[in-house]
Amino acid sequence: MTRELTTATVFTGIAELVTNDGLLDGADHCEHLGRLSDAAVVVQDGRIAWVGPASQAPPADELQDVGGRAVIPGFVDSHSHLVFAGDRSQEFAARMTGARYDGGGIATSVNATRAASDDQLRALVAARVAEMRAQGTTTVEIKSGYGLNVQDEVRSLRIAAEFTTETTFLGAHVVPPEFADRRSEYVDLVVGEMLSACAPYAHWIDVFCEPHSAHAFTEEEARVVLSAGQDAGLGLRVHGNQLGHGPGVRLAVELGAASVDHCTFLTVEDVENLAAASDTTVATLLPGVEFSTRSPYPDARRLLDAGASIALASDCNPGTCYSSSIPFVLALAVREMSLTPAEALLAATVGSAKSLRRNDIGVIRAGNRADLTVLDAPSYLHLFYRAGVPIAGALSPGGRHGR
């Protein structure tokens, strides 16, 4: 999502640079953020070439002064469903006055998505990606899952791949209505013809493993889907433990999934499993969903205190959270989930990068991708302090995105 540079640009006037680099000389490593005051960053060919105090910056072809603002690693949104058409705002309004979410409304998006043209879908995804970038997100994972037939799942992934390398096949999002009384036939389709057609466009496979929804998949069905994806060379992700206690976390850890997402209802054993698997499986928390479905928030404090790896992501989707805003997610994580601002920022950068098994993003250090986000503020704390104010934007050569 970063425009490639051919010349070296030095960014100066950085009042506070959050690097997340635990080894950077001269940085304040309080809460591991590796913060530098009066810093400079040199960027060349889309990569970071140098990081340090402005007074020691090497010469570059171009100079860009950010005017006393803070710069942080671009947000990594490791969970989104951006390929969809249609409008479900009425469902949101109904939920706010008491209706419960059970995964059933997905069929509404499936019908609208199947009916849209390629160009319509592409324009919708482009607008959503631009909206994310304007709010500071520089890497986004995009799932399919509103096609739910071979042709429309392939099409969703082909379009998603135009915007990101982090594409996820989610044919096992829900059982589509036309297969409601033929579940096993649908699972056979997902792991057969659909997987074969989608795998060339997908990096990951995901499944909505949720016994509390009649539309989602059981432990055994999820195991079949994930195992087939693994055999096809895809990395594993799981939607689990969203609506109640269940097998999602256990299965994700057992199969070595990179991420298990939601983690709202966890037993003691689930937390222990995630802590023991902290090098492999990240617990990705999506508090925008709990906000938008008026549900209890996941217990991030308990996971961190146990030693689990956590990430924060948007889950931007038409049903349960149509917000693309990581700053909103960060504000919820601090206000409602008892994370410190530093812990929340780490989870939406280093944590979410880890959930994508990436170490070239999330940390501002020489050699990494030049994915920088600028804040119209002197410190990263303003992300939380000024909740709801659009101060964050991805930094591109020439200025802030979307301004």
Residues of the shown chain interacting with Zn ion in the complex, contacts defined by CB under 5 A = 315
All residues at 6 or more sequence positions from 138 whose CB lies less than 8 Å from its CB, including other chains? 1, 2, 74, 75, 76, 361, 369, 371, 372, 373, 394
Q: Which is nearer to Zn ion, 41 or 216 (CB)?
A: 216
| Sign of the dihedral defined by the CA atoms of residues 160, 162, 163, 168, in that order | positive
Shortest distance, CB of residue 45 to Zn ion, whole angstroms? 34
Shortest distance, CB of residue 200 to Zn ion, whole angstroms? 23
Shortest distance, CB of residue 81 to Zn ion, whole angstroms? 6
Q: Which is nearer to Zn ion, 21 or 261 (CB)?
A: 261
Shortest distance, CB of residue 285 to Zn ion, whole angstroms? 12
Distance CA 333, CA 311 (A): 11
Q: Which is nearer to Zn ion, 85 or 363 (CB)?
A: 85
Sheet hosting strand 310-312, strand order edge to edge: 142-143, 167-172, 204-209, 235-240, 259-262, 282-285, 310-312
Residue 131: how many other CB atoms lie within 10 Å? 16
Q: Which is nearer to Zn ion, 152 or 315 (CB)?
A: 315
All residues at 6 or more sequence positions from 355 whose CB lies less than 8 Å from its CB, including other chains? 78, 237, 258, 259, 282, 284, 309, 311, 313
Q: Which is nearer to Zn ion, 270 or 315 (CB)?
A: 315
Q: Which is nearer to Zn ion, 153 or 315 (CB)?
A: 315
The SS3 of residue 244 is: coil
Shortest distance, CB of residue 315 to Zn ion, whole angstroms? 4
All residues at 6 or more sequence positions from 60 whose CB lies less than 8 Å from its CB, including other chains? 7, 8, 9, 10, 42, 44
Shortest distance, CB of residue 340 to Zn ion, whole angstroms? 26
Nearest residue (beta carbon) to Zn ion: 315
Contact indicator for 106, 143 with CB cutoff of 8 Å: no
